[in-house]
Amino acid sequence: MSMTQTATLQQRFEAALMPNYGVPPVAIAVGRGCRVWDADGRPYLDLIGGIAVSALGHGHPAIISAVSSQVAKFAHTSNLFLHEPEVALAERLQGLLGRADARVFLANSGTEANEAAIKLVLRKQDAAGSGRNIIVAADHSFHGRSLGSLAITGKESIRAPFAPFGLSVRWVPYGDAAALSDAVRPDVAAVFLEPALGEGGVVPAPEGYLRAARSITAEAGAALVLDEIQSGIGRTGAWFACQAEGVMPDVITLAKGLGGGLPIGACIGVGEYGTAFRPGDHGSTFGGNPVACAAALAVIDAIEAEDILANVAKVGAWLKDGIAAISHPLLREVRGSGLWLGAVLTAPVAADVTTAARERGFLVNPVQPDVVRLAPPLILTEAEAADFLTALPGILDAVHAAGQASTKGA
């Protein structure tokens, strides 16, 4: 029997790429809207969107047009020269934050946005001179894989093999305002927090936590850095999750959905943090790339023009309520907001649920052993969400039945 296209690609992948990801189960060949097709022509509803990235879905005409016309003009300048798309994007981000005194550094990924933020707060606090060189970060947080962003990532299993790092980090339990207050002493340069733990399993901050973090850091003279790489650009139904909480951080980092699939990250400093870098302090050859900036502008324009934030709030709430209404022995609860949900299971079978979903044509992600994450394109319709809701009990049944069979067999 001849091999499928997928199997052939998997074999070539394994022989040519490093083994850090394992071999993925699906080879994507084409996407349109919220649907993708694999190399063998099988269709899927994409409920993970490239991990909270494909904000406008796949093949959105605004991105196709913005990217193609920018490539046709010029694809790259380096930072020896400036160009209109980077200026326009930085202005748009200032506008979305409502802060004309915000200043933007453009990078290529979330990790790089956080790397810039780490350097920025150390520079602003003049860490060497003031002794304020501690960064406070949360258990179970995720900020990236470079040595700086990994140093402040609260997942021991991925950090330990690469320690020690050149940063001093004080850990706090996520969501505990009293513990944060204890940790933010005069030696602290900054507190890094996600508005909800994304990779940690879509765990929203308790009510009032971000506001408490804001006042604790303000009183102590430490920076509050909010990592909105996963939560930002509409994912929760607001442009930035912190806006729904009424919190303005000193620094905000973005990536993922910002480029709608093109690689871009942004580190935004507000007030004095916007101007803390001195010439020569930081840089990136590709950062602020005009093609990525054109895509990001198209994403922001389309979110506004198509009233996509309202769609996120409406379809997200509908999907969340629909999952919550399913009574199943494997389903404990659903948490999150907007189109950023975690279905929490009663057993560590998220990988099996993901496989069963895939076999029925739905792409989801086992973000934790017992949590299945949904982070679909922000244009998901109620009809598409309904397809998943209809299939979910059967998906859970299949995993439950297999679990019972293996318990009996044991």
Residues that bind ligand PLP (CB under 6 A): 109-111, 114, 142-144, 194, 198-199, 227, 229-230, 255
State how far the Cα of 400 lies from the Cα of 327, in Å rounded to an integer: 13
* CB-nearer residue toward ligand PLP: 142 or 239: 142
Active site residue 227: yes
* CB-nearer residue toward ligand PLP: 63 or 220: 63
**Phi–psi pair at 187, nearest 5 degrees:** -90, 5
Torsion-angle region of 54 (φ positive above 0: left; ψ -120 to 50: alpha; else: beta) = beta
How far apart, in Å, are the Cα atoms of 97 and each of 123, 190, 239, 246? Answer: 23, 20, 8, 11
* CB-nearer residue toward ligand PLP: 291 or 330: 291
Instruction: Tell the smallest beta-carbon distance from residue 111 to ligand PLP (Å).
Output: 3
Q: Which residue is nearest to ligand PLP (CB)?
A: 110
* CB-nearer residue toward ligand PLP: 111 or 289: 111
State how far the Cα of 290 lies from the Cα of 390, in Å rounded to an integer: 42
The conformation of residue 169, written as its DSSP 8-state character, comes to E
SS3 call for 269: strand
State how far the Cα of 197 lies from the Cα of 174, in Å rounded to an integer: 8
* CB-nearer residue toward ligand PLP: 45 or 225: 225
Instruction: Tell the smallest beta-carbon distance from residue 106 to ligand PLP (Å).
Output: 13
Listed in sequence order, the residues at least 6 apart from 160 whose beta carbon sits closer than 8 Å to its beta carbon are: none
Instruction: Tell the smallest beta-carbon distance from residue 255 to ligand PLP (Å).
Output: 5
Active site residue 142: yes
State how far the Cα of 261 lies from the Cα of 257, in Å rounded to an integer: 7
Sign of CA dihedral 135, 140, 144, 147: positive
Instruction: Name the catalytic one among 227, 250, 352, 370.
Output: 227
* CB-nearer residue toward ligand PLP: 194 or 384: 194
State how far the Cα of 410 lies from the Cα of 395, in Å rounded to an integer: 23
Instruction: Name the catalytic one among 38, 105, 119, 142.
Output: 142
DSSP code per residue over 23-63:
--S--EEEEEBTEEEETTS-EEEESSHHHHT-TT-BS-HHH
Instruction: Tell the smallest beta-carbon distance from residue 340 to ligand PLP (Å).
Output: 11
* CB-nearer residue toward ligand PLP: 227 or 250: 227
Instruction: Tell the smallest beta-carbon distance from residue 100 to ligand PLP (Å).
Output: 26
Instruction: Name the catalytic one among 256, 320, 362, 370.
Output: 256
Instruction: Tell the smallest beta-carbon distance from residue 227 to ligand PLP (Å).
Output: 5
Instruction: Tell the smallest beta-carbon distance from residue 350 to ligand PLP (Å).
Output: 17
Query: Tokens in use for 37?
Result: 């097709």
376 touches 48 (CB < 8 A)? yes
Q: How far is CA 93 from the centre of its chain?
A: 17
Residue carrying structure tokens 């009574």: 327
* CB-nearer residue toward ligand PLP: 6 or 230: 230
Residue carrying structure tokens 């706090």: 172
Treating both helix axes as pointing N-terminal to C-terminal, what angle do 382-409 and 350-359 enclose, rounded to 10 degrees?
120
Instruction: Tell the smallest beta-carbon distance from residue 74 to ligand PLP (Å).
Output: 25
Segment (H or E) for 384: helix 382-409
Treating both helix axes as pointing N-terminal to C-terminal, what angle do 290-305 and 84-97 enclose, rounded to 10 degrees?
40
* Residues annotated catalytic, as ranges: 142, 227, 256
